[in-house]
Amino acid sequence: MSQSNAAVNLKGRDFLTIAECSEEEIQLLLDTAADLKKKQKAGIVHHDLAGQTLAMIFEKSSTRTRVAFEVGMYQLGGSALYLSSRDMQLGRGETIADTAQVLSRFVDGIMIRTFGHDKVEELAANATVPVINGLTDAHHPTQVIADLLTIQEHKGNLRGLKACFIGDGYNNMAHSLLEGAAATGMDLIVSSPNGYEPDGEILEAAVKRAARNGCTVGFTSSPEEAVEGCDIVITDTWMSMGEEGEAEKRLAAFKDYQVNEQLVKLAKPDYLFMHCLPAHRGEEVASEIIDGSHSIVFDEAENRLHAHKAILKCLLEKD
């Protein structure tokens, strides 16, 4: 762990958005994740969260989020409890505030994966244990910590790199990537068709933070302009959970925003391709790109485990 991060402390904190974290706090998470990954690969066991329990509330289905948090807690010596909203009193009308107070009496931390970001904020406001945002419609901070870790592993640094996000700008990944780039000194351009731009308040805040931090984030409707000279090309599904009914409309709107061989010719020769998965080959990305030599999507997926372990350790570890 770097000397500059030795005094940074996230213990007892909530982790709701990247924007709420300082650059030093993000680097602490990345350093911790890299250290935990190295130890796991070496077979070194560290039960830093022995005896602790994480409640995991899922109102949206999941593969990587559930497995990463559940396995992560196990590897850190703790346990994780899967709670579907269908099986909880939330599904019968109990308030989020009451749920937060009850769970706080039983567990050491709460992770929630849901729709409206207001639910996460209400849960955190009423819980007395750390709350982790596993995904909302507006933000996906745990994924972006994994993404930043993956970029740092492959490129050696974050500051000074140029990245782009091609696809739905009004998307949790686009929002959290804007916040992550602005915080860590990485240039990032989001490119989307008209009507699918990033949230104005999130974009404006990220632009201001980037300016203070010596980098640039922004938006363009031209995917070619966004990809030009990029080190990292990122995309995500054109239809998030709950938007499947708009499939025909979205396929038409995004038809010129596929990441394919023609588009990536504009990126740097050693560009990296990223996608948080699940992917729809032939829609947002061509098969030859996601399955090609520039793709690091499975390194990115694996790093969900190490990033989530770092978040858990930094928030839940006792003195």
Which amino acids are annotated catalytic? 113, 140, 143, 236, 276, 304
Instruction: Tell whether 150 is in a known binding site.
Output: no
- Judge whether 215 is annotated as a binding position: no
92 is in an annotated binding site: no
Which residues on adjacent β-strands are paired with residue 131? Answer: 110
What whole-number distance in Å separates Cα of residue 115 and Cα of residue 90?
Answer: 14
Query: Is 142 a known ligand-binding residue?
Result: yes
Residue pair 103/80 in contact (Cβ under 8 Å)? The answer is: no
Host H or E run for residue 224: helix 223-227
27 assigned to a ligand binding site: no
Residue 315 counted as an annotated binding residue: no
Burial of 113 (0-12, 13-18, 19+ CB in 10 A): buried
Contact status, residue 187 vs residue 163, Cβ threshold 8 Å: yes
CA atoms 179, 277, 317, 54: torsion sign: positive
Judge contact between 113 and 60, C-beta under 8 A: yes
Residue 216 labeled ligand binder:
no
Binding residue per annotation — 46? no
Is 280 annotated in some ligand binding site? no
Q: Is 62 annotated as belonging to a binding site? A: yes
Give the β-pairing of 217-220 and 232-235.
unpaired
State the DSSP string of 93-142. T--HHHHHHHHHHH-SEEEEE-S-HHHHHHHHHH-SS-EEEEE-SS--HH
Residue 9 marked as a ligand binder: no
CA-based nearest residue to 16, from 125, 100, 159, 104: 125
Q: How far apart are CA 15 and CA 283, in angstroms?
A: 32
Task: Consult the annotation and say whether 89 binds a ligand.
Answer: yes
63 is in an annotated binding site: yes
User: Is 113 assigned to a binding site?
Assistant: yes
Which residues are known binding-site members for carbamoyl phosphate? Answer: 62-65, 89, 113, 140-143, 276-277, 304
Binding residues: 62-65, 89, 113, 140-143, 172, 236, 240-241, 276-277, 304
Annotated binding site for L-ornithine: 172, 236, 240-241
